[in-house]
């Protein structure tokens, strides 16, 4: 199923043929720079299965991000339920992304994230969407700012699943955008992507 599309991208459910790309981005040291460890193939496949299951059961998760003209997967971008109590209340929805290094620098994440904010607020009727990243992860923070999110320092937190052995990765900055902010800011953002689902 296609969640939405932009001029260049397709945000869709995962296919079995996407497993290699999913493993690639979970083992790449550049992609995983701000995570405490890289996943091996077995761990990556287990995460792939769990994510696919979450999408099927809840409609939320990290969707495959593919090039629209070829349907070639390049990474993921999605809206997912957080599991970080007490840092974030149950039911909090985050937007997140991960992209193969060969596709960095083309604006794909920003384009996909804008489409998913539109989907989240217009189609899923969410009241707020958050995102968070290690304080030194300048690339992700820049995307959060470009898509209209604002820093909420009161809600910054130490990630409970980052071990003390990786202390520099524990502190996470939280950015957020509410439905009303999104509606007020649409005219100030880049032109909204086409979010009408269509057949592959």
Question: 166: Cβ–Cβ under 8 A, 6 or more apart, which residues?
Answer: 36
Q: How confident is the model at residue 12 (pLDDT cuts 50, 70, 90)?
A: very high
- CATH numbers and ranges of domains, the chain: 2-83+90-188 (3.40.630.30)
Please check the confidence at residue 192 and state whether its pLDDT lies above 90.
Answer: no
Rounded to an integer, what distance in angstroms lies between the CA atom of residue 152 and that of residue 24?
32
* CB neighbour list of residue 13: distance below 8 Å, 6 or more residues apart: 1, 2, 3, 52, 55, 63, 64
pLDDT digits (tens, 9 = 90+) for 130-151: 999 999 999 999 999 999 999 9
User: Which residue's structure tokens are 């707020």?
Assistant: 128
- Say yes or no to pLDDT of 186 above 90: no
Question: For residues 63 and 14, is the Cβ–Cβ distance under 8 A?
Answer: yes
Q: Which CA distances in Å does 34 have to 68, 74, 89, 131, 169?
A: 29, 19, 23, 15, 6
Beta bridge mates, 158: 171
Instruction: List, for residues 32-83, the tens digit of each pLDDT value.
Output: 999 988 899 999 999 999 999 999 999 999 999 999 999 999 999 999 999 9
Copy the structure tokens of residue 51.
Answer: 């994510």
Report whether 4 contacts 118 (CB < 8 A): yes
How far is 131 from 113, CA to CA, in rounded Å?
11
Alpha-carbon distance of 52 to 37, in angstroms, equals 22
Mean pLDDT of 182-195: 56
């Amino acid at each position: 199923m296609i969640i939405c599309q932009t001029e260049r991208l397709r945000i869709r459910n995962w296919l079995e043929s996407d497993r290699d790309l999913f493993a690639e981005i979970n083992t790449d040291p550049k992609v995983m720079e701000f995570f405490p460890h890289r996943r091996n193939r077995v761990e990556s496949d287990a995460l792939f299965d769990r994510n696919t299951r979450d999408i099927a059961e809840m409609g939320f998760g990290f969707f495959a991000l593919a090039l629209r003209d070829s349907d070639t997967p390049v990474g993921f971008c999605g809206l997912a339920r957080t599991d970080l109590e007490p840092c974030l209340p149950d039911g909090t929805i985050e937007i997140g992304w991960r992209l193969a290094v060969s596709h960095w620098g083309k604006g794909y994440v920003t384009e996909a994230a804008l489409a998913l904010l539109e989907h989240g607020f217009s189609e899923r009727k969410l009241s707020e969407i958050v995102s968070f990243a290690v304080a030194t992860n300048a690339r992700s923070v820049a995307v959060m700012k470009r898509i209209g999110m604002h820093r909420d320092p009161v809600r910054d937190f130490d990630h409970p699943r980052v071990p003390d052995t990786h202390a520099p990765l524990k502190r996470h900055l939280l950015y957020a955008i509410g439905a009303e902010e999104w509606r007020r800011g649409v005219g100030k953002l880049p032109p909204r992507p086409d979010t009408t689902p269509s057949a592959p």
